[in-house]
Amino acid sequence: MTHVVVVGGGVAGLGAALRLRRASEAGHDVAFTLIEKDERLGGKLWTDRWSDENGGTYIADGGSDSFLTDKQAVHRVARSLGILQDETGTNEETSKTFIVKDGRLIQMPDGIMMFAPTKLMPMVTTPLYSWPGKFRMALDLMLPRKERWAPGDTPQEHDESLEAFVVRRMGRECLDRLAEPLVGGVNGSDPTDMSLAATYPMLLEMEQKHRSLILGFLDQRKKVEEMRKKHPPKPGQPKRTFFSSFRPGLQYLTDRMADAAGREHIVTGVTAQKLEKAKDAWKVTLSSGEVHEADAVIVATEAWAAAPLAAAVDARIGELVASIPCSSSATVVMAFADADCPFDRHWHGILSPLVEHRPLTGVSLMSSKWPDRAPKGTVLLRGFLGGPRDQHVLERSDDALVELARTQLVELLGMPRSAQPLYARLFRWDRGMPQYTLGHLDRIDEIEAREAVISGFALAGNAYRGVGVPNALESGERAASKVLRDAGVDYADTASDDGSVR
């Protein structure tokens, strides 16, 4: 029997547990115990369901609310769990995004791909940029490449920060008004040291291939349009949207994963405090004083929590993992009565660039973005606070943060000052987002090279090769495969080779 202890019950830890369970179902002598510090499973996937006195239900995702539809891992696991039909795309009729400029909401110009314009008229007419800012962006069409890579070179060898890259190609205004809130914000990263090679290597490659980013994105837009023409949605089939979720909220995924992995093998409310490699076995000491012996250990926690555990196995791995910075944030989900929301509801999000100096860095209109998130006659909103450049705001009390979010929403959306939420919930994410800073990939290569030669040990989670939900899920599956291989268990999860989409 190969017994594996999995530390951490987020989507990565549960991905590992599920794969181990599948190996056992396939006839291999494998068992696992998953240890989760919180009482709740799911980690950054946290859906709060609240019913009002009229029987209406609010579905509030406090952490991640979506995943990229193009990435296969979630669809694949959903199919294996029989919940693929519960996936949902975003509501495309209401998909506008606004950017805050001088306190006003400006609609994101049509044709923007990431932060690059691909349509002339919307760019000419938008008040989002000044005329000098627009001319500076257009200069990208003429500017040479920074350098020509040698054949076989990779983005990793030519890493550059988001700030350096965008300012060099398209100017400071493009960074400040769009790239920072859109690209940096989504990654919870500070553009000054956010590694492009680790997050968006395609941008570096695009400069090599097309020289100009605008030309590169125009080419990409053409290809997407051709693909859409070639493969129109079948009658009755919903249009594929960029982001997806599950109708009951995103934690539905981790809940069903836990059910399928087997909740009898999961212990919650207990912290793994110490990891040791004894002669033939691993020992995991828990906060309860219990010691679990295992043939293998998977550490699927945040980087700051993984570092001390990993350091006991390999001091250098511990050092490298500890060097991955993590930023804290908070989200506030609030519902208001229709009457208090006299604004247009045809949008999904508002981004507030750092240069606006607002504590609320973003807003999602959850009740327009997703179906059935709030009872009729109410509007569900979610605001983001904190992030790498404003950690101080999080020192305020919970009540103060909820009130701060409320007053910001009132101001931005023109709601009555007296508007009080029907439902409000604060979610704190202490050091919840890893920062992929310059040189991240070199550090991860070294971690993986050292981990590869430590039999029965693997790391998983969003700190290493991708911060999105599908990446974290896959990292857990890979970790499970690694420790199974180390134990000589010959198990190939055939479902993972299924490349089909929903």
Residue with Cβ nearer ligand FAD (353 or 432): 432
- Judged by CB under 6 A, how many residues of this single chain contact ligand FAD? 36
* 365 DSSP β-pair partners: 381
* 35 DSSP β-pair partners: 7, 267
Q: Does residue 310 interact with ligand FAD by CB under 6 A?
A: no
- The window from 207-215, 225-233, 316-324, 429-437 that contacts ligand FAD (CB under 6 A) reads 429-437
As measured in angstroms, the least distance from the Cβ of 36 to ligand FAD is: 5
Tokens at 202, concatenated: 């395609």
- The window from 218-226, 296-304, 313-321, 333-341 that contacts ligand FAD (CB under 6 A) reads 296-304
Q: Nearest to residue 270, comparing CAs of 10, 15, 17, 39?
A: 39
Q: Does residue 7 interact with ligand FAD by CB under 6 A?
A: yes
Please answer whether residues 60 and 375 qualify as being in contact, where contact means their C-beta atoms are separated by less than 8 angstroms.
no
As measured in angstroms, the least distance from the Cβ of 97 to ligand FAD is: 14
- The window from 10-18, 258-266, 393-401, 402-410 that contacts ligand FAD (CB under 6 A) reads 10-18
Cα separation, 161 vs 146, whole angstroms? 14
Query: Binding string to ligand FAD for residues 67 to 86, with x set by CB under 6 A, is what?
Result: x-------------------
Q: Which of 5, 218, 305, 380 binds ligand FAD (CB under 6 A)?
A: 305
Q: Which of 5, 8, 324, 362 binds ligand FAD (CB under 6 A)?
A: 8
Q: Nearest to residue 94, comparing CAs of 297, 323, 308, 349?
A: 349
Q: How far is CA 237 from CA 45, 85, 224, in A?
A: 27, 12, 19
Q: Which of 3, 19, 22, 37 binds ligand FAD (CB under 6 A)?
A: 37
- The window from 32-40, 170-178, 372-380, 408-416 that contacts ligand FAD (CB under 6 A) reads 32-40
3 state SS of 90: coil
Q: Does residue 65 interact with ligand FAD by CB under 6 A?
A: yes
Cα separation, 283 vs 264, whole angstroms? 20
As measured in angstroms, the least distance from the Cβ of 490 to ligand FAD is: 27
Q: Which long-range contacts (CB under 8 A, 24 or more apart) does 264-268 make?
A: 265/17, 265/21, 265/31, 265/32, 265/33, 265/34, 266/9, 266/17, 266/33, 266/34, 266/36, 266/41, 267/33, 267/34, 267/35, 267/36, 268/9, 268/36, 268/38, 268/39, 268/40, 268/41
3 state SS of 239: coil
Residue with Cβ nearer ligand FAD (194 or 415): 194
Q: Which of 20, 21, 24, 36 binds ligand FAD (CB under 6 A)?
A: 36
Q: Which of 193, 302, 451, 477 binds ligand FAD (CB under 6 A)?
A: 302
Q: Does residue 244 interact with ligand FAD by CB under 6 A?
A: no
> For residue 426, how many C-alpha atoms fall within 13 Å in the half-sphere facing its CB?
18
Q: Does residue 380 interact with ligand FAD by CB under 6 A?
A: no
Distance from the Cα of residue 242 to its chain's centroid: 14
Q: Does residue 9 interact with ligand FAD by CB under 6 A?
A: yes
Q: Does residue 285 interact with ligand FAD by CB under 6 A?
A: no
Q: Does residue 429 interact with ligand FAD by CB under 6 A?
A: yes
Q: Which of 21, 22, 44, 75 binds ligand FAD (CB under 6 A)?
A: 44
Interhelix angle 162-170/201-210, rounded to 10 degrees, is 30
Quote the strand ranges of 302-346, DSSP E: 326-337
Q: Does residue 11 interact with ligand FAD by CB under 6 A?
A: yes
Cα separation, 410 vs 131, whole angstroms? 31
Q: Does residue 443 interact with ligand FAD by CB under 6 A?
A: no
Q: Which of 64, 126, 244, 408 binds ligand FAD (CB under 6 A)?
A: 64
As measured in angstroms, the least distance from the Cβ of 240 to ligand FAD is: 17
Q: Nearest to residue 329, comparing CAs of 431, 248, 410, 239?
A: 431
Q: Does residue 364 interact with ligand FAD by CB under 6 A?
A: no
Please report, as residue ranges, which positions from 458 to 477 form the binding site for ligand FAD (by CB under 6 A). 461-462, 467-469, 472
Residue with Cβ nearer ligand FAD (7 or 164): 7
Cα separation, 18 vs 24, whole angstroms? 10
| Exposure class string for 362-399: b at 16+ Cβ within 10 A, else e | bbbbbbbbbeebbbeebbbbbbbbbbbebeebbeeeee
Please answer whether residues 440 and 324 qualify as being in contact, where contact means their C-beta atoms are separated by less than 8 angstroms.
yes
Q: Which of 433, 447, 479, 484 binds ligand FAD (CB under 6 A)?
A: 433
Residues that bind ligand FAD (CB under 6 A): 7-13, 35-38, 43-45, 63-67, 271-272, 300-302, 305, 329, 331, 429, 432-433, 461-462, 467-469, 472
